[in-house]
Amino acid sequence: MGVAITVNEDDANRRAAAQHALAEHLRLTAAGRVDEWVELFAPDAVLEFPYAPAGVPQRVTGRDALVAHMSNFPETFDVEFVDLVFHDTVDPSLVIAEFRSKGTALPTGKPYEQTCISVVRTDDDARITHYLDYWNPLVAIEALTPSDVPSGSERSVTFGG
């Protein structure tokens, strides 16, 4: 019986550490603290955006590329992340979370309110190894498009590298 409790405690600790990594990702992203943010990731981590629009890569690999990708985020969006909900998973190193961002697209002053789902894998040290980020690019494009641009114009997002 003691072994089952130990395994459950290990799983609980690992799950808590993985969830903490995702929560810290949101906190540091909102604060624009990219140098601290990248430390949450394993050296060869992958950040993936399945719905990335033109101008945003679908896949970013490695810490240097992550920093380059996120370096313009603080000048692009002033956001806070709210309503964070974790969904239980069988694998304690896998985190699935829903949350919203509320804020402003700084180049336009327009509101930026986004609903996201993230699927995040962590390693034994609770570093993020793979971050699958489901967000709506249309919301970002609208927020970053100046009000005087005709709606029929081609639009894209230019943050990220």
Distance, CA of 90 to CA of 88 (rounded, Å):
7
Model's pTM, two decimal places? 0.86
pLDDT in tens, 46-94: 999 999 988 889 999 999 999 999 999 999 999 999 999 999 999 999 9
pLDDT reported for residue 161: 46
Helix (H, G, I), strand (E, B) or coil at 45: strand
| Among candidate residues 157, 155, 12, 148, the one with its CA nearest the CA of residue 77 | 157
Query: What's the pLDDT at 7?
Result: 61
**Cα gap 51→8, rounded to integer Å:** 36
Rg of the chain in Å (alpha carbons): 17
Q: Kindly tell me the sign of the dihedral angle through the C-alpha atoms of 7, 96, 48, 62.
A: negative
